[in-house]
Amino acid sequence: MARSWMRKSLLALIAVLLVMQAVPYGRDHTNPPVRQEPARDDPRTRELAVRACFDCHSNRTVWPWYSNIAPISWLIDRDVKRGRRELNFSEWDRRQEEAGESAATVRKGSMPPWYYPWGWLSAAERQDLIRGLERTLGNGKRRVEAGGKENDRKTDDHDDDH
Query: Residues 6 or more apart from 88 whose CB is under 8 A from it?
Result: 57, 58, 59, 94, 96
Task: Give the predicted TM-score (pTM) of the model.
Answer: 0.75
Residue 93: pLDDT band (50, 70, 90) is very high
Question: What percentage of the chain carries pLDDT values higher than 90?
Answer: 43
pLDDT for the residue numbered 151: 56
* Tens-digit pLDDT profile for residues 11-23: 888 888 888 777 7
Interval 30-83: pLDDT, tens: 899 999 999 888 999 999 999 999 999 999 999 989 888 889 899 999 999 999
Provide the pLDDT for residue 139: 67
Residue 147 predicted with pLDDT over 70: no
Which residues on adjacent β-strands are paired with residue 152? 142
For all residues of the chain together, what is the average pLDDT?
Answer: 83
Q: Which pLDDT value is given to residue 114?
A: 83
Exposure letters 147-158 (e unless 16+ CB within 10 A, then b) = ebeeeeeeeeee
| Mean pLDDT to the nearest integer, 92-119 | 87
Helix 43-52 crosses helix 123-137 at what angle (to 10 degrees)? 110
